[in-house]
Structure 1
Amino acid sequence: DFAQVEYAYPIPRQELVKVTPKYLAGLNQEELDQLYARLGSGPIPNGAFDGEIVFPRGSSGKLRAAEIIGGLKGLGVNFKGKMLETAGETLWKGKVFYRDQKVLRNRIQDLAALRPVIGPGDIPKIDVDGKDAWLLFPAKLYCGQSLIDSRRESIIIDYAFTDELHGYRENPDFLAGRRGLKVRDEIRMVRPGLYLGRAYMDHAFILNFVLYSKDLDHAGRAEFEIGQIKDDCWSGTQKRVVASR
C-alpha cells in the first residue's frame, strides 16, 4: 500500500539530494516503485536532459529488452547483433523538453540502427556537451494520472498523437506512436534536475529510466532543500509526506 509506505517511511529531502542514477540502479523493482510513489511531479522540465535506462537489481533486463527489440525488429529495425542490454543505449541518450510548447523530443546519438526506417530529409540536431544528437520521436507533455500510483498526477510523455505536432516525420517517428509500439512515459521529480521515469508499451510497464541535468541540479539545490520547489501537476488529496532532518 503506497499510502501506508509513504506515511510510515517519509523520505527526507536531504536523502533525495544524495540520490544518483547509480544508486537507483542498485534498487530492486519494488523499491523503485515505492520510491516513485513517494515523489511529486515537480516542475515540468525545460531543456536537455541526459537519459539512462535503469534495469532493477536482480534483473538483467533481458526479458523486457527482448520485448522492445522484438517489437522494433517487427517494424523493420535491425540491430545487427547488438546485445539486447546495449540496444537502448545505442538508440537513446536522453530527452529535450520544450516546456512552453508542452512538447518533448528524444535524443538519438546513433542513427545506424534506425537507417532502414528513416525517410529522406534533414533531421533536427542539437549539441549537448560537445556531442551531436539527432532529435526524433516527438511527444506531447501534460499532467495526467499515473499508471502505478493514482493518488497524485505525474508528468506524462505521450506519443499517441504526435503526428499532430509540427516537425513530425512519419519515419521513424511512427515507431513510438499509436500505429507502432504505443509508448507512454511518465516521470516524477527526485529533485530539480533529476527525474525518475517509467516507460509503458500499450499500457504494459516495460522499464525504468532516469533523466538528469547537472546544471538544473546545481541551480535548484538550495530552493529544494528548503522546500521551495512546487509541483506543476495535481498533488492529490493525500498530503505528501516529506521528512526533514
Structure 2
Amino acid sequence: MSHYTGADVDELLTLSRPELDRLFRAGRPGETPRGEARGTVLAARGAKVSRSVAALARLAWQGKVFDPDGAGLRNRVTPFGIPAIRARVYRDESLLDGGDCIVLDYSRTSLVAHRVRDEIRQVGPHLYLGIVYWRRRRILNFSLYSAGSHT
C-alpha cells in the first residue's frame, strides 16, 4: 500500500522544477501531519545553489507546526522558530493537476499571507513535497519532514 517514491530531502534539493512536478504528481495526500514539520525551500536550481538557498531561507522560515487535530497550522519563522502566520488545513483539488492534495490556506487567517495557498503531497515516509502559490501563480517548492509523526 506504499505510495512512496523513496525521495528524501537531500534528493529533493537536487531536482529540477519538472522533476519536482513529476514527483508531486506521483505523490498522494497521505495523512495530515501533526506537530512540528521541518521545512526546506527547494530552489530547483541544481544541488549546490539549492542547498545555499535552503540554508539562507532557513533564517526566515523553519517549517510548520500542525495543530493536533490537523485542521490548522502556524509557520515557524525567524531564526528562533517563532510560531506565526496561521493557515487552515484541508483536502481539496490541486491547482497543478486536479488531484487530491492537502491545502494550507492562508486566505482567511493571515493579513501577511492572505494571497498564499500551499499544497502538499506525501512522497516518502514522513516527507511531504509542497508547492506555494501566490494568487494562483506558482512561485516555489518546499519540503516538510514531519518529525512529529514518529519518535
Aligned pair partner of 1:149 in 97, 102, 106: 97
Does the 8 A contact of 1:51 with 1:94 survive in 2?
A: yes
Structure 2 equivalent of residue 198 of structure 1: 131
Structure 1 equivalent of residue 83 of structure 2: 135
| Corresponding residue SS for 1:175 | coil
The answer to whether the aligner puts 1:185 opposite 2:118 as a matched pair is yes
Structure 1 letter corresponding to 2:81? A
Distance 2:56 2:3 in 1: 35
Distance 1:56 1:196, change over 3 A: same
Distance 1:212 1:54 in 2: 13
Distance 1:215 1:102, change over 3 A: closer
Structure 1 equivalent of residue 64 of structure 2: 95
Structure 1 letter corresponding to 2:119? E
TM-score normalised to structure 1 length: 0.55
Distance 2:54 2:70 in 1: 33
Structure 2 letter corresponding to 1:29? R
Distance 2:53 2:145 in 1: 23
Does the 8 A contact of 1:44 with 1:99 survive in 2?
A: no
Identity of aligned residues (%): 36
Does the 8 A contact of 2:75 with 2:83 survive in 1?
A: yes
Output aligned runs, 1:87-126, within 5 Å: 88-100=57-69, 102-110=71-79
Unaligned ranges ≥5, structure 1: 1-11, 62-82, 111-131, 163-172, 220-245
CA RMSD of aligned residues (A): 2.6
Does the 8 A contact of 2:36 with 2:148 survive in 1?
A: no
Aligned residue pairs, count: 149
| Corresponding residue SS for 1:34 | helix
Distance 1:144 1:89, change over 3 A: same
Higher relative strand content = 2
Does the 8 A contact of 2:4 with 2:122 survive in 1?
A: no
- Cα offset, 1:58, TM superposition: 4.4
Aligned pair partner of 1:30 in 18, 23, 30: 18
Structure 2 letter corresponding to 1:197? G
Unaligned ranges ≥5, structure 2: none
Does the 8 A contact of 2:43 with 2:53 survive in 1?
A: no
TM-score normalised to structure 2 length: 0.86
Q: Deviations over 1:188-216 (max 9, x none)?
A: 01134110000011111111100003453
Structure 2 equivalent of residue 167 of structure 1: none
Aligned pair partner of 2:107 in 142, 148, 160: 160
Structure 2 letter corresponding to 1:176? A
Q: Where has structure 1 moved over 4 Å in runs of 4 or more?
A: 12-15, 58-61, 83-87
- Cα offset, 1:40, TM superposition: 0.8
Distance 1:14 1:34 in 2: 14
